[in-house]
């Protein structure tokens, strides 16, 4: 995992937005590929299972293992615990399951919460006790 530069969470808002766009495109590709693959094995239910696993799994697994999705890596940011320790798979799961709430009104809820938060945390970050900072 890249070394985090703690205290830079206020400087990464634009990077987070661009990483978000990149990651949503990539997670959609993952969802389609998994959906098609599982549809061959499980039928119609496989499509939905693949879409859910591909879309959410992309974020949970990559952040849980590496602290970064591909979009975050390209833009030089990393997710860590507020203490500066690497994010755990459990924290990644909590952080990303709460995208359901952050994503209301096309992620306007998450963006507004992030902009008014002292550490620029969206709801998932608050609950998982994580921050997004620059990577060294």
pLDDT, tens digit, for every residue of 31-50?
A: 999 999 999 999 999 999 99
In angstroms, rounded to a whole number, what is the distance separating the alpha carbons of residues 37 and 121? Answer: 35
SS3 78: strand
- DSSP 8-state symbol, 99: H
- Output the pTM of the full model: 0.93
In DSSP terms, which residues pair with 77 in a beta bridge? 134
Provide the Cα torsion 91, 80, 9, 71; round to 10°: -90
Residue whose C-alpha is closest to residue 20's, from 130, 136, 122, 128: 122
Per-residue pLDDT of 59-107, as tens digits, reads 999 999 999 999 999 999 999 999 999 999 999 999 999 999 999 999 9
* pLDDT above 90 (res 1): no
């Amino acid at each position: 995992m890249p070394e985090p530069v703690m205290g830079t969470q206020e400087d990464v808002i634009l990077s987070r937005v661009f990483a978000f766009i990149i990651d949503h495109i990539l997670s959609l590709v993952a969802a389609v590929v998994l959906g098609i693959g599982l549809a061959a094995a499980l039928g119609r239910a496989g499509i939905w299972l693949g879409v859910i696993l591909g879309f959410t799994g992309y974020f949970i697994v990559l952040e849980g293992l590496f602290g970064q999705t591909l979009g975050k890596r390209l833009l030089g940011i990393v997710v860590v615990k507020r203490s500066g320790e690497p994010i755990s798979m459990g924290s990644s799961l909590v952080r990303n399951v709460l995208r359901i709430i952050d994503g209301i009104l096309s992620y306007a809820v998450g963006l507004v919460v992030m902009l008014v938060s002292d550490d620029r945390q969206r709801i998932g970050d608050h609950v998982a006790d994580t921050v997004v900072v620059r990577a060294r």
